[in-house]
Amino acid sequence: MVKSLDTLNIFERLRTAELSDRAAKEIAEVLREVIEDRLATKTDLEITKSALELKMESLELKMESVKSELKADIERSGKDSIKWMLAFCEVSWKKWTPK
Protein backbone atom coordinates (compact mmCIF):
# COMPACT_ATOMS: atom_id res chain seq x y z
CA MET A 1 0.00 0.00 0.00
CA VAL A 2 1.25 3.49 -0.80
CA LYS A 3 2.09 5.53 2.26
CA SER A 4 1.39 9.23 2.37
CA LEU A 5 4.22 11.56 1.51
CA ASP A 6 6.09 12.65 4.66
CA THR A 7 6.75 16.30 3.86
CA LEU A 8 8.25 16.93 7.30
CA ASN A 9 10.84 14.22 6.69
CA ILE A 10 11.64 15.68 3.26
CA PHE A 11 11.92 19.15 4.78
CA GLU A 12 14.27 17.91 7.50
CA ARG A 13 16.48 16.06 5.00
CA LEU A 14 16.72 19.07 2.70
CA ARG A 15 17.49 21.36 5.63
CA THR A 16 20.18 18.92 6.78
CA ALA A 17 21.61 19.17 3.26
CA GLU A 18 22.08 22.89 4.08
CA LEU A 19 19.16 24.22 2.04
CA SER A 20 17.42 27.21 3.54
CA ASP A 21 14.27 26.51 5.52
CA ARG A 22 12.20 28.37 2.96
CA ALA A 23 13.64 26.40 -0.01
CA ALA A 24 13.35 23.04 1.81
CA LYS A 25 9.74 23.75 2.77
CA GLU A 26 8.85 24.82 -0.79
CA ILE A 27 10.46 21.73 -2.36
CA ALA A 28 8.66 19.42 0.09
CA GLU A 29 5.35 21.14 -0.68
CA VAL A 30 5.86 20.92 -4.46
CA LEU A 31 6.61 17.19 -4.16
CA ARG A 32 3.46 16.68 -2.08
CA GLU A 33 1.29 18.52 -4.61
CA VAL A 34 2.71 16.64 -7.59
CA ILE A 35 2.36 13.23 -5.96
CA GLU A 36 -1.11 13.83 -4.50
CA ASP A 37 -2.41 15.06 -7.87
CA ARG A 38 -1.34 11.77 -9.44
CA LEU A 39 -2.55 9.35 -6.76
CA ALA A 40 -5.92 7.67 -7.12
CA THR A 41 -8.11 7.42 -4.06
CA LYS A 42 -10.13 4.36 -3.12
CA THR A 43 -13.20 6.22 -4.36
CA ASP A 44 -11.48 6.90 -7.71
CA LEU A 45 -10.67 3.20 -8.04
CA GLU A 46 -14.21 2.13 -7.08
CA ILE A 47 -15.71 4.50 -9.66
CA THR A 48 -13.36 3.19 -12.33
CA LYS A 49 -14.10 -0.41 -11.34
CA SER A 50 -17.86 0.19 -11.54
CA ALA A 51 -17.53 1.84 -14.94
CA LEU A 52 -15.44 -1.06 -16.24
CA GLU A 53 -17.89 -3.62 -14.88
CA LEU A 54 -20.78 -1.85 -16.65
CA LYS A 55 -18.78 -1.71 -19.88
CA MET A 56 -17.97 -5.43 -19.60
CA GLU A 57 -21.65 -6.28 -19.06
CA SER A 58 -22.57 -4.20 -22.09
CA LEU A 59 -19.92 -5.93 -24.21
CA GLU A 60 -21.05 -9.35 -23.01
CA LEU A 61 -24.63 -8.55 -24.06
CA LYS A 62 -23.42 -7.36 -27.47
CA MET A 63 -21.34 -10.53 -27.86
CA GLU A 64 -24.38 -12.69 -27.08
CA SER A 65 -26.41 -10.76 -29.64
CA VAL A 66 -23.73 -11.20 -32.30
CA LYS A 67 -23.44 -14.88 -31.39
CA SER A 68 -27.19 -15.35 -31.89
CA GLU A 69 -27.08 -13.52 -35.22
CA LEU A 70 -24.17 -15.66 -36.40
CA LYS A 71 -25.94 -18.86 -35.40
CA ALA A 72 -29.03 -17.77 -37.33
CA ASP A 73 -26.90 -16.84 -40.36
CA ILE A 74 -25.10 -20.18 -40.26
CA GLU A 75 -28.37 -22.09 -39.97
CA ARG A 76 -29.94 -20.09 -42.82
CA SER A 77 -26.79 -20.54 -44.91
CA GLY A 78 -26.86 -24.28 -44.36
CA LYS A 79 -30.52 -24.49 -45.42
CA ASP A 80 -29.83 -22.35 -48.48
CA SER A 81 -26.92 -24.61 -49.43
CA ILE A 82 -29.10 -27.69 -49.13
CA LYS A 83 -31.83 -26.06 -51.25
CA TRP A 84 -29.24 -25.10 -53.87
CA MET A 85 -27.79 -28.62 -53.93
CA LEU A 86 -31.26 -30.16 -54.28
CA ALA A 87 -32.16 -27.76 -57.08
CA PHE A 88 -28.87 -28.53 -58.84
CA CYS A 89 -29.41 -32.26 -58.50
CA GLU A 90 -32.97 -31.95 -59.80
CA VAL A 91 -31.81 -29.99 -62.86
CA SER A 92 -28.97 -32.42 -63.46
CA TRP A 93 -31.26 -35.40 -63.03
CA LYS A 94 -33.75 -34.02 -65.53
CA LYS A 95 -30.97 -33.22 -67.98
CA TRP A 96 -29.43 -36.69 -67.94
CA THR A 97 -32.50 -38.89 -67.62
CA PRO A 98 -34.21 -40.13 -70.77
CA LYS A 99 -37.59 -38.74 -71.55
Q: What is the pTM of this model?
A: 0.46
Q: 1 falls in which pLDDT band (50, 70, 90)?
A: very low
- Residue 18, by phi and psi: left (phi above 0), alpha (psi -120 to 50) or beta? left
Q: 65 falls in which pLDDT band (50, 70, 90)?
A: very high
Q: How far apart are CA 3 and CA 43, in angstroms?
A: 17
Q: How many helices (H) and strands (E) does the chain have?
A: 3, 0
4, 7, 3, 8: which is closest to 30 by C-alpha? Answer: 7
3-57 per-position pLDDT tens digit: 667 778 888 888 888 888 888 888 888 888 888 777 888 899 999 999 999 999 9
